[in-house]
């Protein structure tokens, strides 16, 4: 079941990666539309935003990956466009989505923070499904482990790089962590003290989980001083999110005092 092709229908191959992306899009969108209804926001607005977010997310994910692995593309830069070969960073994708989300909310005169809370559960659900798809594809594999390892079959990237050895399924663990984060966000929706807190908590929880899981990754991108790119990005994200949470909390208190 693990591999680039999940199954075939009448001789037509159903690609694992493509099916994962489609399910992530549809289920994430469905949850975001439901949150919009609960917040008295037109769900069609969320649908329109998703189209922009997908494009911005793919561009951000690809540019992030290329920026830290330019040596793989320097000889043949046209390969930058070959996203079907793999090489998409989820953190870059989130950044791209955030930027276009700010623009979209302001364009439609919707509170940026309220809109961010609406899409947060759907976003983390989509990330969870996408990561499970990565696991089935055999991508984003972990370090060698006889205890928690999975032997990926021929045809997967993990097999091509490591051969028939047991590797920690880090993206499967990340998928589970994402689902737990989604549950927390949905539980806190009615009790949030101010708009934006759900989205900021999502960024913090995900960044902490990603920071820890990077110790088990076997294919991490590296940056200056050979540090893991995802861990540096996670620390920066947590600090920025905490700063916004403090600012939003103080702003909320000042409004209540008026």
- C-alpha gyration radius of the chain: 19
d(CA 102, CA 255): 23
- Counting beta carbons within 10 angstroms of the beta carbon of residue 81, is it exposed (0 to 12), middle (13 to 18) or buried (19 or more)? exposed
131 is in an annotated binding site: yes
d(CA 199, CA 56): 18
d(CA 44, CA 205): 28
Residue 12, token pair as written in the block: 């037509």
Instruction: Enumerate residues 6+ apart whose C-beta is below 8 A from 135.
Output: 2, 169, 171, 172, 175
Annotated binding residues, written as ranges, equal 131
């Amino acid at each position: 079941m693990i591999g680039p092709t999940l199954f075939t229908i009448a001789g037509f191959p159903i690609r694992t990666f493509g099916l994962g992306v489609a399910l992530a899009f549809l289920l994430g969108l469905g949850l975001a539309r439901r949150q919009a209804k609960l917040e008295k926001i037109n769900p069609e607005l969320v649908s329109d935003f998703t189209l922009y977010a997908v494009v911005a997310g793919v561009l951000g994910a690809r540019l992030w990956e290329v920026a830290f692995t330019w040596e793989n593309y320097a000889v043949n830069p046209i390969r930058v466009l070959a996203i079907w070969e793999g090489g998409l960073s989820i953190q870059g994708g989130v950044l791209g989505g955030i930027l276009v989300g700010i623009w979209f909310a302001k364009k439609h005169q919707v509170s940026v923070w309220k809109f961010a809370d609406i899409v947060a559960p759907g976003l983390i659900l989509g990330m969870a499904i996408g990561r499970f798809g990565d696991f089935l594809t055999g991508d984003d594999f972990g370090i060698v482990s006889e205890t928690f390892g999975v032997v990926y079959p021929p045809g997967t990237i993990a097999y091509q790089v490591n051969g028939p050895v047991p590797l920690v399924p880090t993206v499967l663990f990340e998928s589970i962590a994402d689902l737990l984060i989604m549950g927390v966000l949905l539980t806190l929706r009615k009790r949030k003290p101010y708009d934006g807190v759900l989205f900021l908590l999502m960024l913090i929880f995900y960044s902490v989980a990603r920071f820890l899981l990077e110790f088990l990754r076997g294919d991490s991108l590296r940056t200056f001083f050979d540090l893991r790119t995802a861990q540096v990005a996670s620390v920066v994200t947590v600090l920025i999110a905490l700063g916004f949470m403090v600012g939003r909390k103080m702003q909320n208190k000042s409004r209540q005092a008026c």
